[in-house]
Amino acid sequence: MKFNKVLKNLSTYEAGKPIELVVREYGINPKEVVKLASNENPYGTSPKVVTKIKSLVKNMYLYPDDSMFELKEALASKFELNSKNVIIGSGSDQILEFAIHAKCKKGSKVLMAKTTFAMYEIYAKQVDAQIVKTKSSQHNLKEFSKLYKKHGADIIFLCIPNNPLGECLDKDEVYEFLKTIDKNTLVVVDGAYQEYASFKDEKKKICPKELINTFPNAIYLGTFSKAYALGGMRVGYGFAQEEIISTFYKIRAPFNITTLSLAAAIEALKDEEFVQACIEKNFIEMKKYEEYCQNRGFEFIPSYTNFITILLKNFISKEVSQKLLEKGMIIRDLTGYGLNAIRVTIGTEEQNIKLFTLLDEVLEELK
């Protein structure tokens, strides 16, 4: 059967391995498996959200409110915007797809960092767009500027903070860069981990209202999958000027999130105390990773997220990841990004202690 030619050499996105796979392949008790690969919130979902969902399970046969009125109003209120500035997606990555289909076709140019969220490139290649990348793995806006002047771009992707590396640009330098961008270039500011970055350092905080009012060609993306602990519910959102949002709605399929997902997101927004507590614990535990790396002589990228990227010396990241997997510890190997590094989600205190113990064992085995 013949398919679209652009799909022939297109790589499939590799998500973090599920617990079920490790149980099947290695015969490990599910209770003994720890997943620190997909940057989920290790503290689980807010109890208030769980209670709400239990009360609504009987309504699963009903389609959700496709206007998503209550969720959009809640987000608009939180960020001091109008609901007309809001679009909801099945995860924020669905809105990335809207952006590509709204702006790109064969030959369009899409500018991004060398090492960043893989779906930017995958979605762009689906429409046969041309990928333009910086030489630096981390976001280097001087390189972005040079490439933009040389090639132009229909879309620029800025991941702030960046996944899978964890570094984060300052707001001021982002704004200075955006002042140089043509108004017909769509700039996607992916803020999936902004809750963590703004907690750690106020200079990293991107205010969606200020961003889209100052730069009408920008769209800010957020998600409920990380700090709000709703990864399994798949709810993301975008903030932009009404012209952009109304255009994206022409691409959006009806009922693109579920009845339960919609209710969960609405309830999660009400429990900011839970979110802040999770973020605080995240950075307390992250310090333990930094100390571990320093004691082991490993370099790491200072992180503004809920994960840390560890650059390995004298060990092969693929081998380390596989050995950990066989012991029931799931982390992310970054070989596919051209890096000899591992990315580890910051878990609970108990999970992190187990990771350190097993990693010590693996490193000793691989000497």
Q: What domains does the chain contain, in order, with CATH numbers? A: 5-43+273-365 (3.90.1150.10), 47-271 (3.40.640.10)
**Among candidate residues 45, 160, 181, 175, the one with its CA nearest the CA of residue 113:** 160
**Sequence-ordered alpha helix ranges (H) in the chain:** 19-26, 47-56, 69-78, 92-103, 118-126, 141-151, 171-178, 194-200, 208-214, 242-249, 259-269, 272-296, 317-326, 349-365
Output the pLDDT for position 343: 97
Say whether the peptide bond before residue 161 is cis (omega within 30 degrees of 0).
yes
What confidence tens digit (pLDDT) does each residue in 301-358 have?
Answer: 999 999 999 999 889 999 999 999 999 999 999 999 999 999 999 999 999 999 999 9
Check: CB of residue 119 under 8 Å from CB of residue 96.
yes
Check: CB of residue 217 under 8 Å from CB of residue 181.
yes
Check: CB of residue 319 under 8 Å from CB of residue 3.
no
Check: CB of residue 265 under 8 Å from CB of residue 233.
yes
**Among candidate residues 112, 184, 109, the one with its CA nearest the CA of residue 152:** 109
Contacting residues for 250 by C-beta, under 8 A, at least 6 apart: none
Contacting residues for 226 by C-beta, under 8 A, at least 6 apart: 39, 40, 41, 192, 193, 195, 196, 306
What confidence tens digit (pLDDT) does each residue in 213-228 have?
Answer: 999 999 999 999 999 9
Output the pLDDT for position 4: 80
Residues of the chain with pLDDT under 50: none
Output the pLDDT for position 19: 77
Check: CB of residue 94 under 8 Å from CB of residue 101.
no
The SS3 call for residue 49 is helix
